[in-house]
Amino acid sequence: MKIILKHNIMKTDSIIKENVLDELSWQPNIDETQIGVIVENGVVTLSGVVDNYSKKIAAEKAVKNVKGVKAVADDIEVLYGIEYKKTDKEIAKAVVSAYEWNPSVPNNKLTIEVREGWVYLSGELEWNYQKDAAKKVVEDLIGVKGVVNNIKLKQAVKPSEIKQKITKAFERMADLEAKNIKVEVDGHKVKLKGKVHSKAEKDEARRIAYFAPGVDEVSNELEVVY
């Protein structure tokens, strides 16, 4: 009888850095030469300057998908060229116009504030997909340096119903081991505990929990075990 033993080999920081750089170079909308990468104990710090906020977000998302990455600190700065600089008033008008063309965002329920290129969103919506759509619409606008999404959810859902919906959603996902994830609900706040096998799984679990009706905040305490 032949017995094959599989060992989980932990990636070194140097290997993780190499994989991160490869992943960044693989992204068509990212110039990896503009981004600095430092890895310490699996925690990746990104630095550098990009000319568009959506590139900053894309870089962060790409790094999170790399196996071995435990956390990402995004210190990338967004600097627009002179021809692309916008005043706060121009950015605010662009945000309002973008919302008017997006049926997922009920803009009459939102308050928009722009300060030095940063867009602050507040107000109340019924669903998380509306809250996420409100942020994504703004991310691609020229002149935007960052988005702070302070939109709240007002839907009244019992905590027991929230937990049940999230648990069932986990069980439907083939890439998640639902039995290893514990869901705790306090009002509209959800806390995830347990173990997963990658940063991507951890992020996916948060995404699923965040999309559940009535969820306003997700504390992702899942441990990544390779």
Query: What pLDDT is stored for residue 26 in this prediction?
Result: 86
Query: What pLDDT is stored for residue 84 in this prediction?
Result: 67
Query: What pLDDT is stored for residue 38 in this prediction?
Result: 93
157 burial (CB, 10 Å; 0-12 / 13-18 / 19+) is: middle
Going from the first residue of the chain to its last (226 residues), give the mean pLDDT of each consecutive group of 10, the final group possibly shorter. 43 89 85 89 91 86 87 86 79 91 85 92 85 89 89 74 85 76 86 87 87 82 84
144 burial (CB, 10 Å; 0-12 / 13-18 / 19+) is: buried
Query: What pLDDT is stored for residue 10 in this prediction?
Result: 65
Structure tokens at 147: 């988005």
Q: Of 78, 71, 12, which is closest to residue 45 (Cα–Cα)?
A: 71
Query: What pLDDT is stored for residue 11 in this prediction?
Result: 78
Query: What pLDDT is stored for residue 155 in this prediction?
Result: 60
Q: Of 61, 8, 75, 14, which is closest to residue 42 (Cα–Cα)?
A: 14
Q: Is 148 helix (H, G, I), strand (E, B) or coil?
A: strand
Query: What pLDDT is stored for residue 96 in this prediction?
Result: 92
The amino acid sitting at 130 is: Q
